């Protein structure tokens, strides 16, 4: 039985003060979750240290929003695995569509980040997904397959999460139809060739659609942006009711 992985990606939101305020509301609302649900928060780097203290002894895990493949060096604006491990970070998001788009991240770099995370004991959350233009041109499957095959090359699939995030569904309010998201997640599992691979869906996940999304057979969790910034909404998502 695959576990469930519910992650909130805070992107470039939340100061230390607002992160603390968030947890004051969120922690009591999420304390009775079933044991097979892993809940993860990926705050901006500046809030990691204070959240590590606040979350000590709770069931909430920390993720970074990036990780570099070198342990130290002249890499301005990057973060190394050991810097994250020092603060009890357990997961690292790599290959999100925003750095792919704004900073031209390649599948090769994403693969290096994922492998480095694993080597150091972090669990990478590798994001893949097509743009609207690629979907309209009928290229979605080819694009995602390339991202999966190159991004996951030489990684340990039993120690990794894949997030399928169609770019056209991110921050737009347009969720990918649950059956279609499930179909793509099933293909990803097939291409990866590992039945126990953990696969999340991401893109406009909210309290109103979480129950349907989590009732899909190939979707093992969600990667949530906007709705993870509001503690009641994210708690409702973490407390989803599978149909």
Q: Which residues are catalytic?
A: 96, 165
CB-closest chain residue to ligand 13P: 225
Q: Which of 208, 199, 218, 196 is nearest to 240 (CA)?
A: 208
Rounded-to-integer distance, Cα 30 and Cα 2, Å: 21
Q: Nearest distance from residue 85's CB to ligand 13P, in Å?
A: 22
Query: What are the structure tokens assigned to 94, written together?
Result: 């790599």
Answer yes or no whether residue 203 interacts with ligand 13P by CB under 6 A. yes
The residues in 208-237 that bind ligand 13P, with binding defined as CB under 6 A, are 223-227
61-100 footprint of ligand 13P as x/- string (CB under 6 A): -----------------------------------x----
Binding of ligand 13P by 9 (CB under 6 A): yes
- The position carrying tokens 């305020």 is 21
Q: Which value, in Å, is the radius of gyration of the alpha carbons in the chain?
A: 17
**Pair of tokens at residue 168:** 């056209």
The residue count for binding ligand 13P (CB under 6 A) is: 14
Task: Please say which residue, 28 or 171, places its beta carbon nearer to ligand 13P.
Answer: 171
What is the per-residue binding string for ligand 13P in 160-199, x denoting contact by CB under 6 A?
-----x----xx----------------------------
Measured CA to CA, the distance from residue 54 to residue 241 in angstroms comes to 27
Backbone angles phi, psi at 191, to 5 degrees: -65, -40
- The reply to whether 128 sits near ligand 13P by the rule CB under 6 A is no
Pull the structure tokens for residue 139: 């290229």
């Amino acid at each position: 039985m695959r576990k469930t992985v519910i992650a909130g990606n805070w992107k470039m939101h939340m100061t230390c003060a607002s992160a603390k305020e968030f947890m004051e509301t969120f922690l009591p609302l999420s304390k009775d979750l079933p044991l097979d649900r892993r809940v993860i928060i990926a705050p901006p780097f500046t809030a990691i240290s204070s959240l590590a203290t606040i979350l000590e002894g709770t069931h909430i895990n920390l993720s970074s929003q990036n990780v570099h493949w070198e342990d130290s060096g002249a890499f301005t604006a990057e973060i190394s695995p050991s810097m994250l491990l020092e603060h009890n970070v357990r997961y690292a998001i790599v290959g999100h569509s925003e750095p792919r788009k704004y900073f031209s991240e390649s599948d090769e770099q994403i693969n290096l980040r994922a492998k480095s995370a694993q080597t150091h004991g972090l669990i990478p959350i590798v994001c893949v997904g097509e743009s609207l233009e690629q979907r309209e041109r009928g290229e979605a499957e080819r694009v995602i397959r390339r991202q999966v095959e190159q991004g996951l090359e030489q990684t340990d699939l039993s120690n990794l999460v894949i997030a399928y995030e169609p770019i056209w569904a991110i921050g737009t309010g347009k969720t990918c139809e649950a059956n279609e998201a499930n179909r793509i997640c099933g293909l990803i599992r097939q291409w990866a060739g590992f039945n126990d691979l953990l696969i999340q869906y991401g893109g406009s996940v909210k309290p109103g659609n979480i129950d349907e999304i989590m009732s899909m057979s190939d979707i093992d969790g969600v990667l949530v942006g906007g709705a993870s910034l509001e503690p009641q909404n994210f708690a409702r998502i973490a407390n989803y009711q599978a149909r």
